[in-house]
Amino acid sequence: MPSGTYAPDLAGRHVVIPGGSGGVGEGAVRAYLTAGADVVVPTRSQERADEFRRLLGGAATGRLHLVVHDYTTFAGAEELAATMEDRLGSIDDVVAPIGGWWAGKRLWEISESDWQDAFVRLATTHMAVARAALPRMKADGAYSLIVGASASTPVLGSGLVSMEQAALLMMQQVLATELAGQKRVFALVLGPVRTRTADGSGADWITADQVGSVAVAASASTISGREVRLGNQAELVQALALLNDTEPRPVGPVVAVSTLDPKQGRRDDLLALLAELAPQIRAEAGCIRYSVHSPRGHDDGPLLVIQMFASAEAFTAHSSAIAAQVPRLSALLETPPAPPAVFGPVPSDGNAAKESLSA
Ligand X SMILES: NC(=O)c1ccc[n+]([C@@H]2O[C@H](COP(=O)([O-])OP(=O)(O)OC[C@H]3O[C@@H](n4cnc5c(N)ncnc54)[C@H](OP(=O)(O)O)[C@@H]3O)[C@@H](O)[C@H]2O)c1
**Interaction site with ligand X (CB under 6 A):** 19, 21-25, 43-44, 48, 72, 97-100, 121-122, 125, 146, 148, 190, 192-193, 195, 198
Cα dihedral sign, 37-38-41-42: negative
What is the helix, strand, coil percentage profile of the chain, to 5? 45, 20, 40
Distance, CA of 115 to CA of 279 (rounded, Å): 54
CB of 92 to ligand X, least distance (A): 21
The answer to whether the CB of 262 falls within 8 A of the CB of 273 is: no
The answer to whether the CB of 34 falls within 8 A of the CB of 7 is: yes
Distance, CA of 156 to CA of 148 (rounded, Å): 15
By beta-carbon proximity to ligand X, the closer residue of 226 and 229 is 229
By beta-carbon proximity to ligand X, the closer residue of 42 and 340 is 42
By beta-carbon proximity to ligand X, the closer residue of 125 and 210 is 125
By beta-carbon proximity to ligand X, the closer residue of 17 and 314 is 17
CB of 282 to ligand X, least distance (A): 45
CB of 178 to ligand X, least distance (A): 22
By beta-carbon proximity to ligand X, the closer residue of 162 and 319 is 162
By beta-carbon proximity to ligand X, the closer residue of 35 and 145 is 145
**Phi/psi at 84 (5° precision):** -65, -40
By beta-carbon proximity to ligand X, the closer residue of 36 and 192 is 192
CB of 57 to ligand X, least distance (A): 18
CA-based end-to-end distance of the chain: 47
β strands within the chain, DSSP E: 14-16, 38-43, 64-68, 93-96, 142-148, 184-190, 193-194, 206-207, 227-230, 254-260, 287-293, 303-309, 341-343
The answer to whether the CB of 63 falls within 8 A of the CB of 33 is: yes
- Residue number closest to ligand X, CB atom: 22
By beta-carbon proximity to ligand X, the closer residue of 72 and 316 is 72
By beta-carbon proximity to ligand X, the closer residue of 97 and 225 is 97
Task: Give the H/E segment covering residue 299.
Answer: none
Which amino acid, one-letter code, is at 215?
A: A
CB of 198 to ligand X, least distance (A): 6
CB of 149 to ligand X, least distance (A): 7
CB of 128 to ligand X, least distance (A): 10
**Phi/psi at 313 (5° precision):** -65, -40
**Phi/psi at 57 (5° precision):** 55, -130
CB of 243 to ligand X, least distance (A): 19
CB of 48 to ligand X, least distance (A): 4
Which amino acid, one-letter code, is at 175?
A: L
The angle formed by the CA atoms of residues 186, 192 and 196, to the nearest 5 degrees, is 100
